Structures are given as structure tokens and as C-alpha cells.
Structure 1
Amino acid sequence: MPDTEQPLRPVLARAGVDRAAQHRLDEPWLAAAWSHPTTKVLPIAGGEAFVVDTETGTELVLLPSFEAPQTGDRYFLGTDEDGVSYFALAGETLPGRLDGDARPAGLREVGATLSDRDAGLLVHAVALEHWHRLHSFCSRCGHPTEKAGAGHLRRCTSCAAEHYPRTDPAVIMVITDEQDRCLLGRQALWPEGRWSTLAGFVEPGESIEQAVAREVLEEAGVRVGEVSYVASQPWPFPASLMLGFVGRAEPGGTAITVDGEELAEARWFSREDLRVGMESGEILPPSGISIARHLIERWYGGPVPSAAR
């Protein structure tokens, strides 16, 4: 039976650094923090940073500020319990020379093997870098904007309008029926055998519970009744917050009719169906960094077979 009491801890919802937002507009403090000998800097470009593989996982390569490149956009990421300050430094490319076995990598590749601190730093830096890259002009008047707030806002150089990083809320859900089967779907562009939970963006003027019911009905034709929140996870691909739910299909509303656009196929799976399919390789689970995997395993009662091997 599933362990629904165990707290859900998605891989990208981890952190080990206080974001210390009270310092973002304090330019003297930021300048002093950047110059401090204990400060650590994370170079980032195109959603990637340098990492090194260790016996216990993967670690970010963090540079002292005096070794960091002199060009690029600085984003203040926060401080840890020892008073160490962390900055991201975004550039067009990663620095050309690093000693040792450092290699570039992104969250999809190494998110699951990073420590809590490093996972939180990288997801924060990736989200900010992407937002800044796409918001160099004011949406009010069209004039250029400039970075402010230690990387957490942009200010128009003409009308002074302030623009803050955008996060798009999306719901992702495990829906079960009266037999406690789980509803999973397949997108046509996914690799053969890949199945996952249903998901979709919250629309304007809509509650997240309404979004769950609407998305499941639109994509699979299944009517959802009771809905309960489980956990959330930042998903900076490019700028979403995934809100995880469990829901129960209404009696008599479990017939599946896929829309043919969002989903190519949808099915009800028992735990035995999933076990047999995954052990044979006919069913591929979602990525380990996705909250979808965690929601499925919460319903399943533990790691799915392909994840246990």
C-alpha cells in the first residue's frame, strides 16, 4: 500500500542557503560581501555551471570572488549559517580555464546528485539567468531595462517601471479511481514507453484546484472530484513552479478520451500493471528530478522498479 504519510521532498525543492532578501537593495553591503574573502561565486551560462564528480555525488565549482571573471551579471543568491555569501555570475560562456576535472552540466543532468545547498543555488541561478536574458526591454514603454535589486528585478531606464522575475504556476497530479488505479498519460513526442502524470498551467482567474480538474478533463476526459495539495517544486525550464496534487476521479467519470493534442494516449494503471511494465522495460518512468516521479512513487508505495535497480 502507498505511504501517503511520508513527506514528499522533490529533488529541486531543496536549499541550504538563506536568500537574505533584505540585502538586495543595500549596495554598500553587496559590495562588501562581494569583496569578502569567504564569498563564493557560481559562474553560469546557458543554464549550465561547472561541476565535479565526487565519491558521494556531484558538487558545484564555486570560485572565490577574486578569481571570478570581471565581466558578467552578478546575482546575489544568499548567505549560509556560517555567514558565507553566494553570488551567481552570468556570462555568455562559462570561464575558459578551470583546474581539475570540472565539466559543464545543467540541472536535468546533475540536479538529483547535488547537495541541498548546491541544488538550491543552481536552481536559483538558472531561473534568474533565463529571466534576465529574455526581459531586457520594458513591457510598458519598450525602452531598455537594467538589472537592479542584486539581480531580482529590472528597472526601465525611461519610465522607471519595475519588473520582477516571472514564475508560471503549473499543476501536476496523480489521479486515482475507485480501484485505486493511477491515471498516466503519454505525449506523442516522448520516447517510446514513457508515461507520466498529467500536468498543465494555471489560467488567469482560476484556482489551482480548478486547474487540476480542468486539465484532467481537457486532456483525458476524466472528471475529478476531491483534490488535495501534496508538495511543490521549482521547475526553471524555463520558469515554472510545479504544484503537486493528488485527486480522485468522480464515480462514473473515469472513461478516458484523450484530446489528441496534449496527450496521444492515457491509461489507468494498477500497481501490478506498473511493476510488470517497468520491470520488462515497456514502461519508462519520468525523470528522477521531476515531481511527477515522486508523486507516482508516493502512490506506488516506494521506488518504482526501474528506480530501485
Structure 2
Amino acid sequence: MSVFELNQVPLLSRSALDRADHLRGDAHALKEGWATARLLRVGRRGAVRYEAGALVWESATELSAEPSPDAVFLGVRDGVHLWAVRDRDLTGELRDLRQLADTRIDDFTAGVLATALALINWHAGAIFHGADGSPTVTAKAGWSRVTEDGREDFPRTDPAVICLIHDGGDRVLLGRQHSWPPTMFSLLAGFVEAGESLERCVEREIREEVGLDVRDIRYLGSQPWPFPRSLMLGFCALGDPGQPLVFSDGEIAEAHWFTRDEVRAALALGGWPARPEPGPATATGDETNKLLLPGSVSIARTIVESWAAGDAADSAVG
């Protein structure tokens, strides 16, 4: 078995938010709590107002006198109800979740933003019922939608696998999508198909994207990914660097085996998009063509950091 575990909980999985699900269907309690509730406005592409190192909350009563059907209930903190609402005209000092992650936001802020984005993004695509197109309205403080005849839909979460492929020694395989700048590389990932187990999804996605056969597939951990509403399920697997890479499905532009030292040097640079786009990519560690890896908001970062923190003996097959 290859011995390799996550060395920390992924950022968006550390939520310290009390989701207070028992209040979602209690209209009386929600109405009472609205008077002192705090409201987070979420702008285009998930941007929020962030000033003096903290999220900017406003009084919920500035939106409406009673709980608004346009707002979603996030939970409770120190006895205060927390809500979020989409505001496409939001202005001010705006940051999105990816940007804030690199400022080392606290677990509460990360949990609030992940929950708010996931709910708001789901509502945007759930205005009509999937069965017959009947209009739906919000219910349970934004945690479901119902049709006129009472059929209920709940927030959708799409499972996706993400996998670090290593050789059992000192090398790891990283890939680059066509839309990414030249030296930005990450782990391979893909959505779980109907009737498919997570392990078979890992095998299929890797074979489709780079033509590689993998073995010793092992689960590492998970993280919500509200872009728009996914759950990333992290794995590692063993692959053979001697097997030719084949990019058959067109998603991956290129992939290379990188050494542990190259990965450690890339981690020391920070994560993209924190650095400007550099020159052409290489897998040789050329100082003018540095490998760039995902930022701390992604579970990919945690997985890569955990693998890089070990040594070849830690990843060996025994």
C-alpha cells in the first residue's frame, strides 16, 4: 500500500458555521430573528464586500421588514441569524472566495462563503421544476423550492473526483487544461457519472484524460466546491511513468511527471492566480519557466502539499 494522507483539513471543509437546520422550517423563529439578523450581499461571480480584514454584514431589515424570499438562511452565530442575498449591483471593496483564500481567512468566513455561494448558485438554476418545468418558489428559508402543487426540490450537489497520481516514489503527474496559462498545472478531476462508483470514476477519468491506467486508488478527503455546486472527493493513485500519455477526450492540453523537488519549489511560489502569467511551460525546473500550482482554496493544493511533505520512502509500495 502507498502510505500518503492529508496533512490538514482542506480549507472549505473546516467550516465553523452553526447551520441551525432546525430553524429552517420555523417561520415564527425566523421572523423573530430577522429583527437582529445580519445580511451578506453576494455580487457577480460570488464577490462580497470585504473591508478591514472581515466580511461586511448589514442589518437584514435594510433589505425588508420580514424574512425575504430572495434571501437564504445560512445559520446562527452568537445567537444572531445570518442570511445572504444575491446583489448583482454590489459595489465597494469586493473580493471573491478564491482571492480571500490566499489571505488566510478564518474557518467561519470560509464556511459562510461556501454555503452562501452553493445555495445562491443552486437557486439561480432551479426556478423551474425538473420534472415538468413548473415554476418553483423558495421554501424553508432558502433550503428548498416547491411547486404550486407541493412538490419539493432540494439544493443539488454534484460529486466530482480529483486525484493525485504518483509513481510510488518521487514523481507526480500533473495536467494543464487548454484554457489555463502555460505553466499552470493541477491534479486530474472529473464528475461522477450515473451508476458509477467513486473508484471507477477515478479510473475512467484518468484513462479518458491522459490514457493512463492506475491502481491502489485511495480516498483522502473531501471539500465543498461552490463553483457552482460541487463536492470534490480527493484520491491518490499509483501510475507508471513509462506508460505513454494519450489525451483522447480533448480536455487536457498537456501533462508531465514532476519531481518532488520541482513541486516543492512551485508550492513556495504561492498559488495561481496570485502570480502573473509566465513563459512557456516545462517539466525541467527551468528558472524562467516556473511551475505554478492551485491556490489554497482548492483541495488540490492540500493534496499536493501533503504528498510533497513526504519523501520517496513514505510513498513507496510495500
TM-score clears 0.5:
yes
Question: For residue 99 of structure 1, what is the aligned residue in structure 2?
Answer: none
What SS does the corresponding residue of 1:277 show, helix, strand or coil?
Answer: coil
Question: Structure 1 residues 111, 3: CA separation in 2 closer, same or farther (over 3 Å shift)?
Answer: farther
Instruction: Give the deviation of 1:149 after TM superposition.
Output: 1.0
Question: For residue 145 of structure 1, what is the aligned residue in structure 2?
Answer: 136
Structure-1-length-normalised TM-score: 0.85
- Structure 2 CA distance, aligned partners of 1:210 and 1:253? 22
Question: Structure 1 residues 197, 164: CA separation in 2 closer, same or farther (over 3 Å shift)?
Answer: same
Deviation string for 1:112-149 (max 9, x for gaps)? 43221111111111111111111111122222100001
Question: For residue 133 of structure 1, what is the aligned residue in structure 2?
Answer: 124
Q: CA RMSD in A?
A: 2.4
Question: For residue 283 of structure 1, what is the aligned residue in structure 2?
Answer: 291
Given candidates 254, 259, 262, the residue that maps to 1:270 is 259
- Structure 2 CA distance, aligned partners of 1:93 and 1:268? 45
Deviation string for 1:18-77 (max 9, x for gaps)? 111111111001111112x3x32112233222111x4xxx31101232344667712111
Structure-2-length-normalised TM-score: 0.82
**Aligned 8 A contact 1:49 1:106 in 2:** yes
- The answer for unaligned runs of 5 or more in structure 1 is 97-101, 303-309
**Aligned 8 A contact 1:73 1:91 in 2:** no
Equivalent positions of 1:151-170 (< 5 A) are 151-157=142-148, 159-170=149-160
Question: For residue 73 of structure 2, what is the aligned residue in structure 1?
Answer: 76
**Aligned 8 A contact 2:186 2:293 in 1:** yes
Paired amino acid for 1:179: G
Question: Structure 1 residues 26, 234: CA separation in 2 closer, same or farther (over 3 Å shift)?
Answer: same
**Aligned 8 A contact 2:160 2:230 in 1:** yes
Question: For residue 27 of structure 1, what is the aligned residue in structure 2?
Answer: 27
Equivalent positions of 1:142-221 (< 5 A) are 142-157=133-148, 159-221=149-211
**Aligned 8 A contact 1:278 1:284 in 2:** no
**Aligned 8 A contact 1:8 1:231 in 2:** no
What SS does the corresponding residue of 2:294 show, helix, strand or coil?
Answer: coil
- Structure 1 CA distance, aligned partners of 2:170 and 2:262? 12
Residue 42, structure 1, aligned to residue 45, structure 2: no
Paired amino acid for 1:93: D
Paired amino acid for 1:184: L
- The answer for unaligned runs of 5 or more in structure 2 is 266-283, 311-318
Question: Structure 1 residues 8, 213: CA separation in 2 closer, same or farther (over 3 Å shift)?
Answer: farther
Instruction: Give the deviation of 1:272 after TM superposition.
Output: 2.8
In terms of mean alpha carbon deviation, does 164-173 or 66-75 score higher? 66-75
Instruction: Give the deviation of 1:219 after TM superposition.
Output: 0.9
Deviation string for 1:135-193 (max 9, x for gaps)? 11112222210000110100012x32111111110000101114341111111211011
Question: For residue 87 of structure 1, what is the aligned residue in structure 2?
Answer: 83
Instruction: Give the deviation of 1:259 after TM superposition.
Output: 2.0
Paired amino acid for 2:13: A
Instruction: Give the deviation of 1:278 after TM superposition.
Output: 8.0
**Aligned 8 A contact 1:11 1:112 in 2:** no
- Structure 1 CA distance, aligned partners of 2:214 and 2:168? 12
Question: For residue 232 of structure 1, what is the aligned residue in structure 2?
Answer: 222
Given candidates 98, 101, 111, the residue that maps to 1:111 is 101
Give aligned pairs, total.
Answer: 286
- Structure 2 CA distance, aligned partners of 1:210 and 1:260? 17
What SS does the corresponding residue of 1:124 show, helix, strand or coil?
Answer: helix
Question: Structure 1 residues 84, 293: CA separation in 2 closer, same or farther (over 3 Å shift)?
Answer: same
- Structure 2 CA distance, aligned partners of 1:284 and 1:59? 28
- Structure 2 CA distance, aligned partners of 1:281 and 1:234? 32
- Structure 2 CA distance, aligned partners of 1:197 and 1:279? 22
